[in-house]
Amino acid sequence: QELQSGMMYMYFGPSAEGDFMKLGLHVDCHSGWSALAVGGNGGMKGAQQFVVRQEGGQWIAEERYSADYVKPELQETQEIVLMFADEVNGSTSWGVLLPTRSCLAGERYAMEDVGMFMHWALGYSHDFSYHKSRGQFHTNLVGGPPAAAPDMSSFASSTMTMPDVLVEHQGEGDAKNPYLCGIFDLAEVLPSGLNSSDKHHVAKFAPVLATASAKYVHH
């Protein structure tokens, strides 16, 4: 499954008997830790991560879990098996083996024939710390990735952008993650011909990113 066009791919599939899941990642132009994760609600909190990195010159694979929006901690028990890992010509590739169901201590999701949210993340180095980039996607690890989305180019659409202001951290909270909320009046932003008093169904969301600040976006 392609995660980033021409740059990042995930490989997966259950073993013949269905007891294990094979999971792999290939990333062009990357050196450092990399991870895939099963995200219960689509966000970092509550996600089960599979991290592959080097420690002391040796490749290792780790199971981690995010109890909050902080550095994911190692699972109490480790069931992940590293099958291979390489950095070749500036690109990273690896494969791991995981049980589809676990009875050991830790926070894990069963890998079943249902759609689920997943994440990918890339680190600045092989020291596991804050990610330099991340993304979210949806897939079915048993049945295969979802079908291509239908063409919605003919649908009515509206663009809402945040005020062009400087966002600075103030007070408590994560200084690396300041944010700004916006409130929009539907009567003003709905496409021509649509009434805000009528019921409408949103079929698709897409980000509108400024080139200068796109590298800072991770939600």
* Residue 65 confidence (pLDDT): 92
Closest CA to 23 of 115, 97, 114: 97
Vertex 67, ends 64 and 72: CA angle to 5°?
35
* Residue 153 confidence (pLDDT): 86
Positions of the chain with pLDDT under 70:
40, 218-219
* pTM score over 0.85: no
d(CA 215, CA 199): 36
- The shares of helix, strand and coil residues in the chain, as percent rounded to the nearest 5, are 5, 35, 60
d(CA 108, CA 42): 15
pLDDT digits (tens, 9 = 90+) for 32-47: 999 999 986 777 888 9
pLDDT digits (tens, 9 = 90+) for 125-148: 999 998 999 999 989 998 887 777
* Residue 87 confidence (pLDDT): 93
